[in-house]
């Protein structure tokens, strides 16, 4: 890092321990992943230079959206005033961000809402929300002079890191649970030239090992425990609000796995609120898959009146030892950033819940029928919103945004199995035994095999139109 650059960044930001009893602060150019004093998670704290009027922030960011300069065109670096980097930092970018916010009328009706918007983070360069964080983390890796960047992953972090490391010409190693991640994600990492390490065990085991590996000085860890990842991902809050013409939605709903995304969005909204850019907060809600829902279990037990202020002990969250879900991206039993994300949920008045495999699969198919599509983990959002509307914890008239985290093509096997009725989830019987059960999705759309004649095709189309009419009520 150049001396001038270091100085500017150091004046504006520091790395702080999130534990209220510790609160230790470290320089921005220290290679840290947790607090050396107490082991707590670290977060970046920014000191804005001079007082800026809220309208000025918005005007800067709006103006840059029309610019072709890569720093302005990136949906992350456009918001550089709220990032812990100097203006002239050599950024590693693939033009991330700028993802669409779609109206989704069918998904809205399915949930019982008047309207629903889908913020599609799967439209990032490598097909997932990870890119918005990776551009910042790999930029920091370069500034720190790291030679090798590493992560443990259920697939998307790995694919994203592999791409950004390739752009920065850094060695990249990814650690994934063997046989448990989608082949599409694995294919990406291989193509981008990463050293792919498949290991025994699950994501939580991989996470433990990679933290040990990154104690080595030449290696830089970019899982979401890395506070610079969170900084990049938090800019999605600003982009979303800009797309809502700065009218704050009532609810923002995200899937939860390792809890980096929810932590980042929460940080983004809270900082924009503190800067005066928005004058109220959306309620941030996290949805997990039933078989991998440690934070939802904890949330259900919290006394919400007192816990908004009481610090949570490290063992408050009971890890799920054998997490299970077909949404492999969020098959995580011991989420690293749970304290940060729970803090954001409590600060905004949101909630944490879990949904079943069948609910995820059907919600995913409905999102597809809006012409949007996503990967299974993303569909927990729509499934969760449907539950919350039914329970009157979200009202039909409220404005709701679901954040879709990954692209439909990230997990094509899941999609094909759903539509061919071959998607099976583990089922635990009363006697404790476990069997596989078909999910019997409600919106299956399997391909038909026909003779290659005009008559056969026309006949089939007319049958399909009749069936769609009969199916209408289910969807509309
Ligand atoms: N959705 C998708 C598509 C994901 O890939 C992930 C996490 C999540 C949701 C959950 O986000 O961890 O920030 O709470 N994927 C990580 C990975 C764990 O390795 O790709 P989170």
- For a mutational test of ligand 1's pocket, the pick from 119, 132, 154, i.e. the residue with the most ligand atoms closer than 8 A to its C-beta, is 154
- pLDDT tier, 461 (very low <50, low <70, confident <90, very high otherwise): very high
Ligand 1 centroid, distance to 84 Cα (angstroms): 23
Q: What DSSP line would sit under 153-210, residue for residue?
A: -SSHHHHHHHHHHHHHT-EEEEEEETT-S-HHHHHHHHHTT-EEEEESS-HHHHHHHH
CA distance 76 to 382: 26
**188, 296, 330, 373: residue to mutate for ligand 1 pocket, most atoms within 8 A of CB:** 330
329 Cα to the center of ligand 1, angstroms: 5
Distance CA 362, CA 173 (A): 35
Identify whether 18 is part of a domain.
no
* Domain final residue pick, 414, 429, 462: 414
- The answer to whether position 37 is within a domain reads no
The 8-class DSSP code of residue 466 comes to H
Indicate whether 281 belongs to any domain: yes
262 and 344 in a single domain? The answer is yes
Percent of the chain whose pLDDT exceeds 90: 86
pLDDT at residue number 2: 40
**Backbone dihedral region for residue 276 (phi beyond 0: left; psi -120 to 50: alpha; all else: beta):** left
Given the CA of residue 128, which atom of ligand 1 is nearest to it? 3
Number of domains in the chain: 3
CA 291 to chain centre: 18
Domain membership of residue 370 (yes or no) is: yes
Alpha helices, DSSP H only, in 302-445? 304-307, 338-348, 357-369, 376-390, 412-419
174 and 232 both lie in a single domain? no
CA 194–ligand 1 middle distance (angstroms): 19
Q: Give the tokens for residue 9.
A: 């960044």
381 and 324, same domain (yes or no): yes
My answer on whether 325 and 210 are in the same domain is: no
pTM: 0.95
Question: pLDDT band at 39, cuts 50/70/90?
Answer: very high
CATH of the domain at 218: 3.40.50.1100
Residues 217 and 232 grouped into a single domain? no
Residue range 108-114: mean pLDDT, rounded: 98
Considering the domain architecture, whether residues 297 and 278 belong to the same structural domain is answered as yes
Does residue 27 belong to any structural domain of this protein?
no
Q: Which atom, in ligand 1's list, is nearest to the CA of 260?
A: 13
Q: What is the pLDDT of residue 333?
A: 98
Give 335 Cα–ligand 1 centroid separation in angstroms.
10
Is the domain of 135 the same as that of 198?
yes
Instruction: Match 């409590």 to its residue by tokens.
Output: 346
Using alpha carbons only, what angle is made at residue 210 by residues 378 and 292, rounded to the nearest 5 degrees?
35
User: Quick one: pLDDT band at residue 426, thresholds 50, 70, 90?
Assistant: confident
Whether residues 139 and 265 share a domain: the answer is: no
Q: Are residues 253 and 357 in the same domain?
A: yes
**Ligand 1 pocket test target in 405, 410, 411, 414 with most atoms within 8 Å of CB:** 405
| Residue 139 included in any domain | yes
Q: For all residues of the chain together, what is the average pLDDT?
A: 93
Domain boundary among 225, 252, 276: 225
Q: How many helices (H) and strands (E) does the chain have?
A: 17, 15
Residues 213 and 283 in one domain: no
- Predicted pLDDT of residue 4: 42
In a domain, 473, yes or no: yes
Pocket around ligand 1 at a 6 A CB cut-off: 128, 153-157, 224, 255-262, 329-330, 375, 377-378, 405-406
Which residue puts its alpha carbon closest to atom 7 of ligand 1? Answer: 329
Residue-wise pLDDT tens digits, 358-409: 999 999 999 999 999 999 999 999 999 999 999 999 999 999 999 999 999 9
Rounded Cα gap, residues 6 and 332, in angstroms: 36
Q: Residues 256, 275: one domain?
A: yes
Distances (CA, A) of 164 to 238, 291, 311: 22, 32, 36
Domain span including residue 465: 451-476
Q: Of 200, 225, 250, at which residue does a domain stop?
A: 225
CA of 457 to the centre of ligand 1 (A): 41
């Amino acid at each position: 890092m150049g001396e001038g650059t270091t100085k500017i960044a150091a004046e504006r930001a520091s790395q702080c321990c999130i534990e209220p009893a510790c609160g230790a602060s470290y320089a921005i150019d220290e290679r840290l992943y947790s607090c050396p004093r107490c082991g707590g998670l670290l977060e970046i704290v920014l000191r804005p230079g001079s007082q800026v009027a809220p309208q000025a922030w918005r005007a800067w960011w709006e103006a840059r959206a029309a610019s072709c300069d890569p720093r302005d065109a990136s949906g992350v670096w456009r918001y550089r005033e709220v990032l812990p980097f100097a203006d002239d930092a050599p950024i590693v970018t693939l033009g991330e961000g700028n993802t669409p916010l779609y109206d989704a009328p069918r998904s809205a009706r399915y949930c019982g809402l008047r309207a629903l918007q889908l913020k599609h983070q799967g439209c990032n360069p490598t097909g997932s929300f990870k890119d918005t964080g990776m551009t910042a983390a790999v930029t920091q890796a370069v500034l720190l002079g790291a030679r090798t960047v590493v992560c443990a992953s259920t697939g998307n972090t790995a694919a994203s890191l592999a791409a950004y490391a390739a752009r920065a010409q850094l060695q990249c190693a990814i650690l994934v649970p063997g046989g448990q991640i989608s082949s599409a994600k694995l294919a990406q990492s291989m193509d981008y030239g990463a050293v792919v390490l498949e290991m025994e065990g699950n994501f939580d085991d991989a996470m433990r090992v990679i933290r040990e590996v990154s104690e080595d000085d030449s290696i830089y860890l970019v899982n979401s425990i890395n506070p610079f990842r969170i900084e990049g991902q938090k800019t999605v809050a600003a982009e979303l609000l800009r797309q809502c013409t700065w009218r704050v939605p009532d609810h923002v709903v995200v899937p939860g796995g390792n809890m980096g995304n929810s932590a980042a969005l929460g940080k983004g909204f809270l900082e924009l609120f503190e800067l005066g850019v928005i004058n109220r907060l959306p309620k941030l809600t996290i949805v997990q898959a039933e078989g991998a829902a440690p934070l939802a279990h904890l949330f259900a037990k919290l006394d919400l009146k007192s816990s908004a202020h009481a610090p949570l002990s490290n063992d408050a969250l009971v890890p799920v030892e054998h997490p299970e879900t077909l949404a492999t991206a969020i098959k995580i039993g011991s989420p690293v950033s749970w304290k940060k994300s729970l803090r954001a949920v409590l600060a905004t008045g949101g909630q944490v819940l879990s949904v079943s495999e069948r609910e995820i699969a059907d919600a995913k198919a409905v999102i597809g029928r809006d012409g949007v599509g996503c990967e299974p983990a993303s569909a927990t959002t729509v499934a969760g919103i449907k539950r919350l509307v039914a329970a009157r914890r979200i009202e039909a008239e409220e404005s709701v945004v679901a954040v879709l985290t990954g692209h439909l093509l990230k997990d094509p096997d899941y999609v094909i199995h759903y539509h061919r009725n071959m998607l099976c989830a583990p089922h635990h019987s009363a006697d404790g035994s476990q069997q596989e059960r078909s999910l019997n999705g409600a919106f299956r759309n399997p391909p038909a095999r026909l003779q290659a004649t005009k008559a056969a095709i026309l006949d089939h189309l007319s049958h399909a139109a009749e069936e769609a009419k009969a199916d209408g009520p289910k969807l509309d």
